[in-house]
Amino acid sequence: MTINSDFHDRLGATILEVFSESDFHAVAIRDIARKAGVSFATIYKHYGNKEGLVFAFVDIWMGRLTDRIIDHLQGMANLKEKLRKIFWLQLDYYEKHNEFAKIIFMTLPMKTWMADESFEQRRMFNLLMDVLRQGQEEGLLNPDIDTRILLDFMLGFVQRSFIMWVQRGQKESLADQTDVMFKMIWRGIVTPERIH
Amino acid sequence: MTINSDFHDRLGATILEVFSESDFHAVAIRDIARKAGVSFATIYKHYGNKEGLVFAFVDIWMGRLTDRIIDHLQGMANLKEKLRKIFWLQLDYYEKHNEFAKIIFMTLPMKTWMADESFEQRRMFNLLMDVLRQGQEEGLLNPDIDTRILLDFMLGFVQRSFIMWVQRGQKESLADQTDVMFKMIWRGIVTPERIH
Amino acid sequence: MTINSDFHDRLGATILEVFSESDFHAVAIRDIARKAGVSFATIYKHYGNKEGLVFAFVDIWMGRLTDRIIDHLQGMANLKEKLRKIFWLQLDYYEKHNEFAKIIFMTLPMKTWMADESFEQRRMFNLLMDVLRQGQEEGLLNPDIDTRILLDFMLGFVQRSFIMWVQRGQKESLADQTDVMFKMIWRGIVTPERIH
Amino acid sequence: MTINSDFHDRLGATILEVFSESDFHAVAIRDIARKAGVSFATIYKHYGNKEGLVFAFVDIWMGRLTDRIIDHLQGMANLKEKLRKIFWLQLDYYEKHNEFAKIIFMTLPMKTWMADESFEQRRMFNLLMDVLRQGQEEGLLNPDIDTRILLDFMLGFVQRSFIMWVQRGQKESLADQTDVMFKMIWRGIVTPERIH
DNA sequence: TATGAATGAGATTTCATTCAT
DNA sequence: AATGAATGAAATCTCATTCAT
């Protein structure tokens, strides 16, 4: 069952517009339908329910970030550079697609979002875990720390920084802070002896 | 207008129980009322609406954490020890009162929660900012980094770690990871020359 | 249990003011209490409930009309004059105390009002029935008609006229129409042979 | 947006049943919905609120009476007969549909009912006024009396008689009293010289 | 397959009335 | 007695979702 591509585009645009500004439950599916020019019943046919609708699109947008990271990592050997690139790509993507980021970080009920075992979330998780694990195997990243903790360390910083960036008015570029921020992360995860 | 203290206690317990397990909007105020043995009309009279109800209690619990931090910092001079203590107190409090933490980190719509300019949130913010600023003034913490970024660094890690701890089944103690985690934080924020 | 006379007066004034303008159920007893400067709980102590409150006062005001009719009938012998006087007294009283009349004719749920077997309603009923019966016994009023129908004939006209007088803006005096209106009534109830 | 005809019928029946027996405000819309087998949300969608619901049906039933009067007046020339017929049709309709009559005369807050400027109320009003005016123009009805007063005279008697008929237990037929009652009305409104 | 009507649930508000002080 | 807090019921509105066309 494929939906008319035009509808799909309009739906996506509407979801970004509406869910980025209002709490998940404050959004009426009828408004989405009206703005997108579809009947709400059609949405139900295609996506099952409100959660299904949003997650379907979130999955797509998350997939694009993962794809972009994979693409950029090609041909890179230096692990630190890889990690810095990953860090920058995230800040950059969330900044450029801040409506998407607002949805996953701010308006989706975290509980629901965490519970969503989507393919794309897992793919992103695996991708990052692989890089970090590789770094630990190479002895570059602190092998005494559970790899998942390394990941939480990075992602927690990214997520909190994005939220506060929005909170503080989206003034200067978020990605421009990559340097400062990544230095902090790197010192935290590098094998202590290699810190300099 | 003060509510009977017994009611207050039962309400608090019920809110912890219910909101920690269900999405904010999935909770019916009538159920809260029934479980707490209060009339829902009374709840409305006192708290205005569902948000007001939850925030009133969140404020109280957040205030207790702040108080505890203030209490523990008394008589401590060493800044690193202070920060480690703050870090531990947070993990410990969120672990022991994980229902409260689930509410603020997982079930309250983040947008709403962030928008809530409560006294207690601000008090906690100021407390932590003061300690970090003091560290920068002493030259111990990296003075080149915006103090707010230092804060986001710590809090992002705490928040993400808590969420994942829940996600991963609340197996081992969260506070027990203070050592590993705080080392990462410390290396990230300390003035580079003093890293050893 | 007697209520402070001052309270009583203020309550009465408030009831006239409020119930004459709003539907019985649209009036909040708290508003009554506030306007009268009493606690609503005190009202309950004295009058039981909202109905009891209004009926208590309606009874008083109805009693005054009855008293006035009795007073005016003293020393009158001519039955037609008596009836005309009764007719005029009603129009005049309802016009002068139109807030009271609005309450009994327009805002009290008729069903409730009819069901109220108050002493004063009965006293008024008996008074009018006695006069009409007397007229029939004298042969002046049509003896072929059930006395109660004679009464309905008069009272229906009074009530409808009052309501329409209000509806049409309370322009000219209602009591001033006594002449025209009573002629119609009289021709309808007089024994046919005596119509001239 | 038309409501399923079956629903409409069941709703109408329920409204007659419930509102004729209870005070307007004592009726819960949810009970109406349950009895009629409709969702109360559907009721709100169609009728806006409780008043809208009742008035919508009252309008229909009032329209039927008006239609019936118009139908019966066809081909009648004698004005007195016309008026007697109108009088009888009203008593007959209210007796046969006494639940409807109870609603408009006894349970609807008169204030609200009077304020309702519905098409059907106006149509009935115009119809009756036309007949009375015609009678005055022909010289048959007393031309010295405001036509509206003639109308109030008739309708006041009808309304009061209906209410008392209910009050007294709906014993004998109401319509059967047309003869006695109409004679009273007629003598009251006929041009005095033509009274015999 | 697309649509809108119908539904049921819950938030919120406003009362009348009861309860405890 | 007098008072205000607490209660329970209902109106109203707004949704997400299901059903029938």
Question: In angstroms, how far is E8 C1' from D41 CA?
Answer: 8
Nucleotides of F under 7 A from a protein CB: 1-20
Contact with chain C for residue D184, Cβ under 8 A: yes
pLDDT in tens, B60-95: 999 999 999 999 999 999 999 999 999 999 999 999
Does the CB of B35 fall within 7 Å of any strand F atom?
A: no
SS3 state of residue B49: coil
Q: How far is CA B182 from CA A75, A101, B76, B87, B191, in A?
A: 34, 28, 18, 7, 15
Q: Which of C122, C189, C116 is nearest to C154 (CA)?
A: C189
pLDDT in tens, B116-145: 878 889 999 999 999 999 999 999 999 999
Q: Whole-angstrom Cα distance, residue B92 to residue A62?
A: 33
pLDDT category at D193 given cuts 50, 70, 90 is confident
Q: Is the dihedral of CA D88, D93, D99, D100 positive or negative?
A: negative
How many contacts, defined by CB atoms under 8 Å, are there between C and D?
Answer: 114
Q: Whole-angstrom Cα distance, residue A140 to residue A144?
A: 11
Are residues B161 and B184 in contact, defined by beta-carbon separation less than 8 angstroms? no
φ and ψ at A116, to 5 degrees?
A: -75, 105
Alpha helices in chain D (DSSP H): 5-19, 29-36, 40-47, 50-73, 79-96, 98-102, 110-115, 119-137, 147-167, 178-189
- pLDDT above 70 for A7: yes
pLDDT category at A1 given cuts 50, 70, 90 is very low
Chain D residues whose CB is inside 8 A of the C188 CB are 183-185, 187-188
Are residues D70 and D43 in contact, defined by beta-carbon separation less than 8 angstroms? no
- The phi-psi region of residue A139 (left if phi > 0; otherwise alpha if psi is between -120 and 50; otherwise beta) is left
Instruction: Please indicate, yes or no, if residue B161 is contained in any of the structural domains.
Output: yes
Residue partners of A128: CB distance under 8 A and separation at least 6:
A86, A151, A154, A155
Q: What tokens does D169 get? A: 């237990």
**Cross-strand bridge partners of residue D91:** none
Contact with chain D for residue C41, Cβ under 8 A: no
Range of the domain at A74: 56-194
The pTM is what?
Answer: 0.87
What does chain D come to in residues? 196
Contact with chain D for residue C191, Cβ under 8 A: no
**Cross-strand bridge partners of residue D116:** none
- In the 38-77 segment of chain A, residues within 7 Å (Cβ) of strand F are 40-41, 44, 49-51
Are residues C157 and D158 in contact, defined by beta-carbon separation less than 8 angstroms? no
Domains: count for chain A: 1
Residue C121 amino acid letter = Q
Q: What tokens does A125 get? A: 């998780």
DSSP state for residue C49 in the 8-state scheme: S
What does chain B come to in residues? 196
Distance from CA of B90 to the nearest CA of A (A): 15
φ and ψ at A169, to 5 degrees?
A: 105, 10
Give B3-7's long-range contacts (Cβ < 8 A, gap of 24+).
B3/B42, B3/B46, B7/B36, B7/B37, B7/B38, B7/B42
Q: What is the CATH number of the domain that holds B88?
A: 1.10.357.10
Instruction: Please indicate, yes or no, if residue C114 is contained in any of the structural domains.
Output: yes
**Cross-strand bridge partners of residue C190:** C141
Contact with chain D for residue C122, Cβ under 8 A: no
Instruction: Please indicate, yes or no, if residue D38 is contained in any of the structural domains.
Output: no
Q: In the block, which residue shows the tokens 């309802």?
A: C94
| Contact call for D177 and C149, based on CB within 8 A | yes
Q: Where is pLDDT greater, at A110 or A53?
A: A53
Neighbouring chains of A at 3+ CB pairs within 8 Å? B
Are residues D24 and D103 in contact, defined by beta-carbon separation less than 8 angstroms? no
Question: In angstroms, how far is F4 C1' from C28 CA?
Answer: 16
For D110, which of C110, C161, C183 is closest by C-beta distance? C110
Q: What is the DSSP string of A81-118?
A: HHHHHHHHHHHHHHHHTHHHHHIIIIIS-HHHHHH---
Residue D34 amino acid letter = R
Longest dimension (CA), chain A: 61
Residue partners of A105: CB distance under 8 A and separation at least 6:
A94, A159, A162, A163, B110
In this prediction, residue C194 carries a pLDDT of 82
Contact with chain B for residue A155, Cβ under 8 A: yes
Task: For nucleotide E15, give the residue with the nearest CA to its C1'.
Answer: C28
φ and ψ at A107, to 5 degrees?
A: -110, -30
Does the CB of B4 fall within 7 Å of any strand F atom?
A: yes
Distance from CA of C192 to the nearest CA of D (A): 9
In this prediction, residue D162 carries a pLDDT of 98
Q: Whole-angstrom Cα distance, residue D94 to residue A68?
A: 79
| Contact call for C107 and D105, based on CB within 8 A | no
In this prediction, residue B115 carries a pLDDT of 80
Q: Whole-angstrom Cα distance, residue D69 to residue A22?
A: 58
- Chunked into runs of 10 residues, chain C (196 residues) has average pLDDT values of 72 95 92 93 93 94 97 96 98 98 91 83 96 97 97 98 95 96 98 82
For D110, which of C105, C145, C185 is closest by C-beta distance? C105
Instruction: Please indicate, yes or no, if residue D89 is contained in any of the structural domains.
Output: yes
Q: Is the dihedral of CA D134, D135, D140, D142 positive or negative?
A: negative
Q: Whole-angstrom Cα distance, residue B43 to residue B36?
A: 10
Instruction: Please indicate, yes or no, if residue B37 is contained in any of the structural domains.
Output: no
CA angle (B66 as vertex; B63, B71 as ends), nearest 5? 125
Q: What tokens does B127 get? A: 């407390």
Q: Whole-angstrom Cα distance, residue A134 to residue A79?
A: 8
Does the CB of B45 fall within 7 Å of any strand F atom?
A: yes
Please name the helix (run of DSSP H) or strand (run of DSSP E) that holds residue A24, with its range, or none.
none
Question: Do chain A and D touch: 3 or more Cβ pairs under 8 angstroms?
Answer: no
Instruction: Please indicate, yes or no, if residue A12 is contained in any of the structural domains.
Output: no
Q: Whole-angstrom Cα distance, residue A4 to residue C124?
A: 79
Nucleotides of E under 7 A from a protein CB: 1-20
Are residues D49 and D32 in contact, defined by beta-carbon separation less than 8 angstroms? no
Instruction: Please indicate, yes or no, if residue B166 is contained in any of the structural domains.
Output: yes
- pLDDT above 60 for B148: yes
Q: What is the DSSP string of A121-177?
A: HHHHHHHHHHHHHHHHHTTSB-TTS-HHHHHHHHHHHHHHHHHHHHHTTS-S-SGGG
pLDDT category at D109 given cuts 50, 70, 90 is confident
* Helices and strands, counts by H and E, chain C: 10, 0
* Averaged pLDDT score across all residues of chain B: 93
| Burial (CB count within 10 angstroms: exposed 0-12, middle 13-18, buried 19+), residue C162 | buried
Residue partners of B188: CB distance under 8 A and separation at least 6:
A183, A184, A185, A187, A188, B153
Q: Where is pLDDT greater, at D9 or D162?
A: D162
Contact with chain D for residue C194, Cβ under 8 A: no
Contact with chain B for residue A48, Cβ under 8 A: no
For A160, which of B109, B155, B181 is closest by C-beta distance? B155
Q: In the block, which residue shows the tokens 């099952």?
A: A48
Distance from CA of C118 to the nearest CA of D (A): 15
Chain A residues whose CB is inside 8 A of the B181 CB are 149, 153
Instruction: Please indicate, yes or no, if residue B18 is contained in any of the structural domains.
Output: no
Q: Is the dihedral of CA C122, C125, C128, C134 positive or negative?
A: negative
In this prediction, residue C1 carries a pLDDT of 42
Are residues A25 and A67 in contact, defined by beta-carbon separation less than 8 angstroms? no
For B149, which of A163, A180, A195 is closest by C-beta distance? A180
In this prediction, residue D115 carries a pLDDT of 80
How many contacts, defined by CB atoms under 8 Å, are there between A and B?
Answer: 114
Q: Which of A183, A187, B67, D146 is nearest to C161 (CA)?
A: D146
pLDDT in tens, A126-168: 999 999 999 999 999 999 999 999 999 999 999 999 999 999 9
Q: Whole-angstrom Cα distance, residue D154 to residue C164?
A: 13
Q: Which of A69, A65, A54, A152 is nearest to A103 (CA)?
A: A54
Contact with chain B for residue A184, Cβ under 8 A: yes
For A187, which of B110, B155, B187 is closest by C-beta distance? B187
SS3 state of residue D195: coil
- In the 37-66 segment of chain C, residues within 7 Å (Cβ) of strand F are 38-42, 44-46
Residue B112: closest CA among chain A residues belongs to which residue? Answer: A23
Q: What percent of chain B is modeled with pLDDT above 90?
A: 82
- pLDDT above 50 for B52: yes
Residue A122 amino acid letter = R
Other Cβ atoms less than 10 A from the Cβ of C75: the count is 5
pLDDT, mean of residues A100-118: 87
pLDDT, mean of residues D102-112: 88
Distance from CA of C6 to the nearest CA of D (A): 31
In this prediction, residue B1 carries a pLDDT of 40
What does chain C come to in residues? 196
pLDDT, mean of residues D129-150: 97
